[in-house]
Amino acid sequence: MQHPDELQLQSYLDGELTEATRRRVEAHLSACGACREALRSCERLSATLQAARPSEELFSAPGEFWARLASRLSQPRAPIWPLAPYVPPVMLGVLGSLTEGLISLLVLLYALSGWGVIPALGKAIAPTLHAALEVPWIEGWLEFSWIAWAREALQRWEGMQSSAQEAVVWGPLLLGLAVVWLAAVSLFLLWALCWSNATRLHHRGGN
Amino acid sequence: MSEPGSPIAALIEAAAAGNMGAFSEIVRLYRMRVLRVACGIVGSVEEAEDVAQEVFVKLWNSLPNYQAQSAFDSWLYRVTVNAAIDALRKQRPTLSLEDELAHTTREPPEEAALRNETRQQVQQAIQALPEAARAALVLREYEQLSYKQIADVLQIPIGTVMSRLNYARQLLRKSLDPQSLERR
C-alpha cells in the first residue's frame, strides 16, 4: 500500500475508515516507521485538544444555570399557529382563482352575446340606464346637471357602432380583471418563495 | 437518538406539553454539551453561558414544533453551533477563556500552571481558526461526534467535514508550540 495521506491517517485515528481500508492502513503502519511517527503526531494533537476541553468547573453551577434559565421561561409560550404561514398564499390563491373564474365568465358572456344567445351588453346598457335615470329617488338624489350630462352621454352612446360599444364595455372589464389576476399570481409566487426559505430555515433548526 | 419510546423522547414530549420538571431534566442532561460547544466556538465562558441560555430558551419555545426528522442531539448541536456563531459575530470584549482558566482551578499549582498554559495556547489557536473549521473541530474533538453526525449537525457533506477537520488540524499543528504537543 502507498503511504496513507494525512487525511487517511486522521480518518484512521477517528475510527472512520471502512474495515478493509483500516486493515490495509494497519498493515502498512506495522511496516513503516515514518507513517507511525505521522500517526503519533496526529494522536498528540488530538490528545492535546481533548485535554483542553472546557471542564465543568469553569462554568456556573447547574442550580445557578437553571435558576437563571427558569426566570426566562416563566412567561407563557407564544401561541403557535401552525397554519399561519399558509394563510397568505391560500388567500392569494383564492383571489387568483376567483379572478380567473370571473374572466372566464366574462369571455363566455361575450361569446354568447356575439352568437346572439344573449343581448349584447353594449346595447343593453342604454335602455337600462335610461330607466334608472327616471327612477324618482335617483332623479331626486342626483343634481340636475348630472342627469343632463348622463342623458347626453347615453345619446352619444346610442350613436356609437355596436363594435365600439362592445370594446368600451368589455375592454376595461377584462383588462382590470387581468391586472388583478396577474398581481395575485405574482404575490403568490413571491410569497411561496419567501415562505419556502423560512420553512427551510425553520427545519434547519432555530435561525 | 430520540426514537419513539426512548427516555429522551418521553422527556421531550412532556416538556413540549409544558412540564418544567421534564425540561429541567433535559437541561441537566445536555447543559455541559451545549456549554462546551459554545465555549469552544466563542472562546469565552461568559459568552458561552449566554449562548447556552439562548439555546435552551429557543429549545423551550420550539419543542412543541419539534419533529423527529433528525436526532434530538444533532438538532440541539445545530442550534448551539448557529447560536454560537451568531454570538461570535456580535462579540463584545469579555473575559476570555484564557483569563477564566487563570482563576478557576483546583489542581496543585504546578500542574495547574502547566495545564492552563497548554489550554490557553490551544484556545488561542482554536480561536484563530475560521468559523466553519472551528465548529467542525469542536464537535469532533470536544464532543467526539462521528463524521456523519457532524455532517448532520452542520448540514454539509461528509467530504466537507473531513476537509474542514483536516484544514483545522493542519493550522493548529502550525500554530501550537511543538513542546506543548510533546507533553501529552
On whether the pTM is more than 0.80, the answer is: no
Nearest 10 degrees: CA dihedral of A204, A206, B1, B3?
-90
A49 touches chain B (CB under 8 A): yes
pLDDT in the model for residue A121: 78
Instruction: Let me know if B2 is exposed, middle or buried by CB neighbors in 10 A (0-12, 13-18, 19+).
Output: buried
Q: Does the CB of A50 have a partner CB in chain B at under 8 Å?
A: yes
Our CA angle for A184, A93, A103, nearest 5°, is: 65
Q: Which residues on chain B are in Cβ contact (under 8 Å) with A47?
A: 184
**pLDDT tens, position by position, A184-203:** 888 887 777 766 555 555 55
pLDDT (average), residues A146-161: 80
Q: Which of B51, B59, B115, B139 lies closest to A206, judged by CA? A: B59
Under a CB-based contact definition with an 8 Å cutoff, are residues B84 and B42 in contact? yes
Assess B113–A contact: CB distance below 8 Å, yes or no: no
Helices (H), B69-157: 72-89, 97-103, 109-127, 131-141, 147-154
Question: What's the pLDDT tens digit per position in B105-120?
Answer: 455 566 666 667 777 8
Q: Which residues of A touch B166 (CB under 8 A)?
A: 6-7, 10
Rounded to a whole number of angstroms, the distance from the CA of A40 to the nearest CA of chain B is 10
Q: Of A69, A75, A200, A204, which to mutate for an interface test with B (greatest number of B Cβ within 10 Å)?
A: A69
Judge whether B180 is closer than 8 Å to chain A, CB to CB: yes
Record the cell numbers describing residue B84, joined without a space.
Answer: 454560537
Cα→Cα distances B159→A46, B13, B76, B166, B168, Å = 20, 35, 22, 11, 14
Is there a contact between B62 and B15 (Cβ–Cβ < 8 Å)?
no
Host H or E run for residue B164 = helix B158-175
* Residue whose C-alpha cell is 335602455: A127
- H-only helix segments in chain A: 6-13, 19-31, 33-51, 62-73, 87-114, 121-133, 136-141, 144-159, 162-203
- Separation of alpha carbons B100 and A56, rounded Å: 12
B182–A contact, CB cutoff 8 A: yes
Q: Which of A69-78, B87-96, B161-170 has the lowest mean pLDDT?
A: B87-96
ipTM score assigned to the predicted complex: 0.81
